[in-house]
Structure 1
């Protein structure tokens, strides 16, 4: 069975990014994938600020990274980069943690000026952790997301198509590789 880890870098408890990742997680669950969801808010702030490599919360996430076939990482973009708290968490991961994993970076942001932030500031971090299969990043404008009672609705046709295409691509890739094994 395929295992997909969702990792949200949003420090907000009412995050559109979290809700968007949860919808993508549901699509994987509906296809029979085993999923896990973590947010940076699941880690005590002191563990991140003081780089507690032996943190129980961080160790739990690292164990899920180790068993994941696919990692979907989402973050709002602040000041042309993923959140500092997400970077602080990832800095605690062991070297080569993402080797052999398929990675899908997703970001939300307030302006198209941040569109390339994932490619230029985050992809090198993922590569440093050993990631070689990094899918094309997805960027969704905040104005293309609308909060609803059940989560977040993507109100832009282009944004919905990009998310749907990425999910389909990932599912096909993951299912194909599970048949090869």
Structure 2
């Protein structure tokens, strides 16, 4: 089974982007894959913004990317582009960090017009890193509801679409697991 790293690129603590990211990671685990979520907002800001590649937290995060067989990249769409936090982290990676790795892009946004950001902003950037980008998935923020206790839910139709995209991604995963160090 594959090791899949999910990069969650929303800078907010209460993140609508986190729900599909975590939902996808849980779905991959239920299929027998090892799946971890790295919330980029938890990385130290000063080393991240100064590109201090010697910072132990950043070294660990970059190593997780290198050790992963595949990635899920989740981001909110702001002004027709993926988050600056995601861009800042991805800029730390080597030029071909995603070479040979299937990558599933997930995005949330406030307008149907933001869906274009998957194909015109995020996909090209992931491709430059060498990713084998699978079909992406976009959901409107209003289709993710938050209960008074803070629990988030996804509209039924969107949940089915996410399951379909995840199934396609699973078919792209490598059949063998690389040895990784935690």
Distance apart, 1:172 and its partner CA: 2.8
Distance apart, 1:150 and its partner CA: 7.5
Note closer, same or farther for the CA distance 1:150–1:13 as it changes in structure 2 (3 Å cut): closer
TM (norm. structure 2) is: 0.90
Distance apart, 1:82 and its partner CA: 0.7
Distance apart, 1:147 and its partner CA: 2.0
Say whether the 8 Å CA contact 1:36–1:64 is kept in structure 2.
Answer: no
* Count of matched residue pairs: 176
Distance apart, 1:160 and its partner CA: 2.1
Q: For 1:94, what is the secondary structure of its paired residue?
A: coil
CA offsets per residue over residues 126-179 of structure 1, 9 Å max, x none? Answer: 122111x1012211000111124574321151x2232010111122332xx417
Say whether the 8 Å CA contact 2:102–2:172 is kept in structure 1.
Answer: no
Q: Which residue of 1 aligns with 2:2?
A: 2
Q: Which runs of 5+ in 1 are unaligned?
A: none
Q: Which residue of 1 aligns with 2:175?
A: 178
Say whether the 8 Å CA contact 1:5–1:70 is kept in structure 2.
Answer: yes
Distance apart, 1:48 and its partner CA: 2.1
Q: Which runs of 5+ in 2 are unaligned?
A: none
Question: 1:142 and 1:101 mapped to 2: Cα distance?
Answer: 28
Say whether the 8 Å CA contact 1:144–1:156 is kept in structure 2.
Answer: no
Higher relative contact order (CA 8 A, sep 6+): 2
TM (norm. structure 1) is: 0.90
Question: 2:102 and 2:152 mapped to 1: Cα distance?
Answer: 25
Question: 1:35 and 1:49 mapped to 2: Cα distance?
Answer: 27
Question: 1:32 and 1:16 mapped to 2: Cα distance?
Answer: 26
Distance apart, 1:100 and its partner CA: 0.8
Structure with more of its chain in helix, by fraction: 1
Q: CA RMSD in A?
A: 1.7
Q: For 1:103, what is the secondary structure of its paired residue?
A: strand
